[in-house]
Chain A
Amino acid sequence: MIKTHDLSKTYRSCGALRALSLKVAEGSAFALVGANGAGKTTLIKILVNLIQASSGSAYVLGVDSRQLSPQQFRRIGYVSENQELPGRLTVSGYLNYLRPFYPDWDIALEREITQRFKLPGDRKINELSHGMRVKMALACALPYHPRLLILDEPFSGLDPLVRDEFMEGLAAQAGDMTVLISSHDLGEVEGFATDIAFVDSGRLLFQEPLETLTDRVQQIKVTVERQSTRRDAVPETWIDIQETGNVLTFVDTQFSEFDLGERIRSRIDGVRDIEVQPMSLRAIFTSISRATRSVQE
Chain B
Amino acid sequence: MNSFGIKIRPGLSIFDQVVSGAQKAILSKELEKGQTFPSVRSLAVDLKIHPNTAHKAVQYLIQEKWLEVQPGIGTVVAGCPRKPSETRRHVIEQDVAMLVAEARRVGLELEELVDSIRKSWSKTQKSVEETAR
Q: Which residues of A contact B (CB under 8 A)?
A: 27, 29, 164, 167-168, 171-172, 174-175, 187-188, 190-194, 211, 214, 221, 223, 273, 275-283
What are 30 A-B contacts defined by CB distance under 8 Å? A27-B52, A171-B45, A171-B51, A172-B41, A174-B50, A174-B52, A175-B51, A187-B10, A188-B48, A190-B10, A191-B8, A191-B14, A191-B47, A191-B48, A191-B49, A191-B53, A192-B48, A192-B49, A192-B50, A193-B50, A194-B53, A221-B105, A273-B104, A273-B105, A276-B101, A279-B10, A280-B10, A280-B11, A281-B10, A283-B10
Q: Which of B11, B14, B105 contacts A275, CB < 8 Å? A: B105
Whole-angstrom distance from the CB of B64 to the nearest CB of chain A?
19
- A276 to B102 CA separation, bound complex (whole angstroms): 11
Contact with A along B84-122 (1 / 0, CB 8 A): 000000000000000001001100000000000000000
Whole-angstrom distance from the CB of B58 to the nearest CB of chain A?
14
Whole-angstrom distance from the CB of A24 to the nearest CB of chain B?
14
Closest residue of B by beta carbon distance from A29 = B50
- A276 to B105 CA separation, bound complex (whole angstroms): 11
Whole-angstrom distance from the CB of B3 to the nearest CB of chain A?
12
Summed over the interface, the residue pairs from A and B with CB atoms below 8 Å come to a total of 67
Tell me whether chain A's interface is mostly helix, strand or loop, or mixed: mixed
Q: Classify chain B: how many residues form its interface, as a range.
A: 20 to 34
- A151 to B17 CA separation, bound complex (whole angstroms): 27
Residues of A within 8 A of B44 (CB): 171-172, 174
Whole-angstrom distance from the CB of B10 to the nearest CB of chain A?
3
Whole-angstrom distance from the CB of A195 to the nearest CB of chain B?
10
Cβ contact within 8 Å between B50 and A171? yes
Instruction: Identify the interface centre among B11, B12, B15, B101: most chain A CB within 10 Å of its CB.
Output: B11
Residues of B within 8 A of A194 (CB): 50, 52-53
Cβ contact within 8 Å between B50 and A279? no
Contacting residues of chain B (14-60) with chain A, CB-CB under 8 angstroms: 14-15, 41, 44-53
Whole-angstrom distance from the CB of B8 to the nearest CB of chain A?
5
B13 in contact (CB, < 8 A): yes
- A141 to B36 CA separation, bound complex (whole angstroms): 33
20 A-B pairs besides A174-B51, A277-B101 with CB distance below 8 A are A27-B52, A167-B48, A168-B45, A171-B44, A171-B49, A172-B41, A172-B44, A190-B10, A191-B14, A191-B48, A191-B50, A191-B53, A194-B52, A194-B53, A211-B15, A221-B105, A275-B101, A277-B11, A280-B10, A282-B10
In the complex where A171-B45, A172-B45, A273-B104 touch, is A278 in contact with B11 (Cβ < 8 A)?
yes
Whole-angstrom distance from the CB of A232 to the nearest CB of chain B?
24
- A60 to B35 CA separation, bound complex (whole angstroms): 44
Residues of B within 8 A of A221 (CB): 105
Cβ contact within 8 Å between A278 and B12? yes
Residues of A within 8 A of B45 (CB): 168, 171-172
Residues of B within 8 A of A192 (CB): 48-50
Residues of A within 8 A of B53 (CB): 191, 194
Residues of B within 8 A of A279 (CB): 10-11
- A211 to B12 CA separation, bound complex (whole angstroms): 9
Whole-angstrom distance from the CB of A223 to the nearest CB of chain B?
6
- A187 to B51 CA separation, bound complex (whole angstroms): 18
Residues of A within 8 A of B48 (CB): 164, 167-168, 171, 188, 191-192
